[in-house]
């Protein structure tokens, strides 16, 4: 059941009304049943995978809490094997098997293991990372083992963040699921406002940009360089609005039900460095890998050399890339960001001296704009590996970017190509409206950041202004939104 589907628009109001009408002691039961129904609307039988993971980690968490020493560590290893083994079978087995088969052909080795004919369960990576977070926190003694099986099952299956996060820690989510909820008008309106904003980003910006981006990526070798450059920039906004739009809807719907989920995006394209970008982009994933992957790798050795820290950082980001998908393009995505971060740290002192020498500090606003633009450009290049189907396609795109940039600034070229709109397959007027929507989003999110939330931004406005703003966004969705229930990009992970 997609958030942007008619089924969800029927499902969610029913859940809200029923949730606040039933006796409070049964609220968790109702939410668990609603979450199971929500997940089964995608692939009914794959709920058995979730049941297996829930029973495994619930049992091992209880056992870990009671054990000491090597037995405790062994139980943690069993949980890791069970979770990552499940992920390996569904998501990575065919990828590794295919590459081993290619290698076997090269060295004339008889290798006949067949690929598995399995469909990846929706959101499996998110479920597993959230389950592992629970077991690791119990093992570290930072959170007690959950004794209530139903509440733990709800922790894994809570429908607003069931499919694509945010990835929650047990300390934050489990206590909230134990609390009985009552209707709070301000909280409900805050949640609905955030959901509306998420729908705006998804339907008006992400899905409409997707139509243009898909057209260009589908005919890369018949498209001019300016169109390719435009598609690269458009995809950056498509990806952001698609995933942050999902997160806004998830956080907003959870807030309506009285549950606060962690913030997952914080205006990442306003970052002044790649390091800052990863503090603002997919925050729940980057912090998960920092705490459970990078720190253990970096701090494992007694002698913590800079080279070791760099290797730990690089490995972590390669794994981030591989987490996104079983394809070499995703490995390159992670490796690219790992290289960015290592290069940035290694040259930080030199770059600061250069900026000082060039007098950049005397023009702080211009320097800030330059840093944001440079960071955005590097991120756009990395997203090529996210979107391209093969490494050859990715190289073709990247190699065309300099020429595309030259064409964009060639006014004679633009005079005849009109920003390659004919290639994109969109009218100038429609493209202008989408660009206006992006500008509107940037202004609103910039203003909302100072007010901590969109709701806090507009709550001080007169009632007529607030109603006008809601009406404008809804009208924008109905008139410009893609209403074909297009799936969210991160559902594949």
DSSP 40-69: HTT-GGGHHHHHHHHHHHHHHHHHHHH--H
> Coil, helix or strand for 72?
helix
DSSP state of 146: P
Q: How far apart are CA 414 and CA 436, in angstroms?
A: 20
Output the CA torsion sign for 283, 285, 291, 294: negative
Of 479, 390, 434, 420, the closest CA to residue 215 belongs to 420
- Give catalytic status of residue 282 as yes or no: no
Which pairs count as long-range contacts for 95-102, CB under 8 Å and 24+ apart, including other chains? Answer: 95/326, 95/327, 96/326
Rg (CA), the chain: 24
Question: What's the gap between Cα 419 and its chain centre?
Answer: 30
For residue 23, count other CB atoms closer than 10 A to its CB: 9
Q: How far apart are CA 92 and CA 80, in angstroms?
A: 16
Integer CA distances (angstroms), 229 to 205, 224, 406, 409, 419, in order = 18, 9, 10, 12, 11
Query: For residue 228, how many C-alpha atoms fall within 13 Å in the half-sphere facing its CB?
Result: 25
Q: What angle do CA 54, 56, 61 make, to 5 degrees?
A: 95
Q: How far apart are CA 295 and CA 308, in angstroms?
A: 11
The answer to whether the beta carbons of residues 189 and 362 sit under 8 Å apart is no
Residue partners of 291: CB distance under 8 A and separation at least 6? none
Q: What angle do CA 163, 166, 168 make, to 5 degrees?
A: 110
Q: How far apart are CA 369 and CA 358, in angstroms?
A: 16
For residue 207, count other CB atoms closer than 10 A to its CB: 24
The single residue listed with the structure tokens 């990552």 is 84
Euclidean distance between the first and the last CA atom of the chain, given in angstroms as a whole number: 16
H or E stretch at 172: helix 170-178
Q: What angle do CA 95, 97, 100 make, to 5 degrees?
A: 110
Q: Which of 148, 324, 337, 396 is catalytic?
A: 324
Q: Which residues are catalytic?
A: 324
């Amino acid at each position: 059941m997609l958030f942007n589907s008619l089924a969800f628009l029927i499902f969610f109001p029913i859940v809200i009304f029923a949730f606040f009408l039933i006796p409070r002691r049964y609220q968790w039961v109702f939410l668990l049943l609603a979450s199971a129904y929500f997940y089964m609307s995608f692939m009914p039988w794959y709920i058995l995978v979730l049941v297996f993971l829930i029973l495994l980690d619930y049992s091992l968490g209880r056992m870990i809490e009671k054990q000491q020493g090597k037995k405790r560590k062994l139980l943690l290893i069993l949980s890791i094997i069970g979770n990552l083994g499940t992920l390996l079978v569904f998501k990575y087995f065919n990828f590794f098997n295919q590459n081993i088969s290619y290698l076997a052909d090269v060295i004339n080795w008889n290798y006949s293991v067949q690929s598995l004919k399995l469909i990846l369960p929706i959101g499996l990576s998110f479920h597993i990372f959230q389950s592992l977070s629970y077991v690791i926190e119990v093992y570290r003694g930072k959170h007690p083992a959950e004794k209530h099986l139903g509440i733990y099952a709800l922790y894994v299956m809570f429908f607003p963040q069931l499919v694509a996060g945010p990835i929650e820690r047990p300390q934050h989510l489990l206590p909230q699921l134990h609390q009985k909820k009552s209707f709070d008008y301000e909280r409900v309106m805050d949640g609905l406002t955030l959901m509306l904003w998420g729908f705006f980003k998804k339907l008006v910006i992400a899905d409409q940009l997707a139509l243009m981006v898909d057209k260009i990526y589908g005919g890369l070798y018949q498209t001019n360089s300016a169109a390719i450059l435009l598609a690269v920039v458009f995809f950056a906004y498509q990806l952001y609005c698609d995933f942050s739009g999902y997160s806004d809807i998830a956080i907003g719907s959870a807030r309506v039900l009285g549950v606060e989920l962690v913030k997952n995006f914080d205006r990442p394209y306003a970052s002044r460095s790649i390091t800052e970008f990863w503090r603002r982009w997919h925050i729940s994933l980057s912090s998960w890998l920092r705490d459970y992957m990078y720190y253990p790798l970096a701090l494992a050795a007694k002698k913590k050399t800079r080279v070791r820290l760099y290797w730990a950082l690089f490995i972590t980001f390669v794994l981030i890339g591989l987490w996104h998908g079983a394809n070499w393009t995703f490995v390159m995505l992670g490796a690219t960001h790992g290289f960015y971060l290592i290069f940035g740290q290694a040259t930080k002192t030199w770059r600061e001296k250069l900026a000082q020498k060039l007098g950049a500090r005397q023009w702080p606003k211009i320097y800030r704009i330059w840093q944001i633009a440079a960071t955005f450009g590097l991120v756009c290049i990395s997203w090529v590996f996210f979107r391209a189907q093969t490494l050859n396609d990715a190289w073709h795109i990247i190699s065309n970017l300099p020429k595309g940039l030259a064409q964009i600034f060639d006014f004679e070229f633009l005079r005849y190509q009109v920003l390659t709109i004919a290639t994109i397959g969109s009218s100038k007027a429609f493209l202008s409206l989408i660009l206006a929507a992006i500008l509107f989003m940037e202004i609103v999110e910039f203003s909302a950041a100072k007010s901590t939330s969109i709701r806090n931004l507009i709550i001080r406005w007169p009632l007529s202004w607030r109603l006008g703003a809601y009406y404008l966004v809804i009208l924008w969705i109905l008139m410009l939104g893609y209403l074909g229930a297009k799936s969210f990009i991160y559902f594949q992970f």
